[in-house]
């Protein structure tokens, strides 16, 4: 009788282990990150696309969604105080000094960033874009994340983020 109970217990434990979904790999980029710096190299010229003290946040959720908003806090406020009421010059500065987009992302078997898909963006040309590690890398070193994005025009943006506490 004891032997039959032991065999049944082993069989049941094997079944429950088989019924469990495979564990996800550790996701090293999940969390909230604040932008510390950003540099753009385009045609050999280096600029600070979000100013000398950029403001930005990058959020990776456990369910594989992301949101990235990058801004230049030195862009002047609009005179009209209405979002849709800026002058051409105000709108141009605001567009050039910021970007916001969201979508889904993936990680590889080691939990490292392996790509994303943009579902929505303040720059319409990015909507539907799929980026692999050929265009976009995200490397985590401790509490820092280093993003390198090679734009379709060849410009290369390098940004540094720190994990938000």
Residue 28 reports pLDDT greater than 70: yes
Q: What is the pLDDT of residue 21?
A: 61
Using a cut of 0.95, tell me whether the model's pTM lies above it: no
CA distance 72 to 51: 5
Residue in this structure with the two tokens 């992301």, named with its chain if needed: 66
């Amino acid at each position: 009788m004891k032997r039959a109970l032991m065999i049944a217990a082993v069989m049941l434990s094997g079944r429950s282990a088989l019924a469990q979904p495979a564990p996800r790999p550790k996701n090293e980029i999940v969390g909230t990150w604040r932008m510390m710096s950003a540099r753009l190299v385009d045609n050999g010229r280096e600029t600070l696309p979000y100013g000398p003290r950029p403001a930005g946040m990058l959020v990776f959720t456990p369910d594989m969604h992301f949101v990235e908003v990058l801004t230049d806090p030195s862009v002047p406020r609009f005179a009209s105080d209405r979002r849709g009421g800026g002058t051409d010059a105000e709108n141009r500065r605001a567009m050039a000094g910021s970007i916001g987009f969201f979508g889904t992302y993936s990680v590889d078997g080691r939990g490292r960033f392996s790509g994303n898909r943009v579902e929505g963006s303040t720059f319409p040309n990015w909507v539907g874009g799929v980026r692999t590690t050929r265009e976009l890398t995200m490397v985590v070193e401790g509490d820092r994340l280093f993003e390198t994005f090679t734009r379709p025009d060849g410009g290369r943006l390098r940004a540094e983020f720190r994990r938000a506490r």
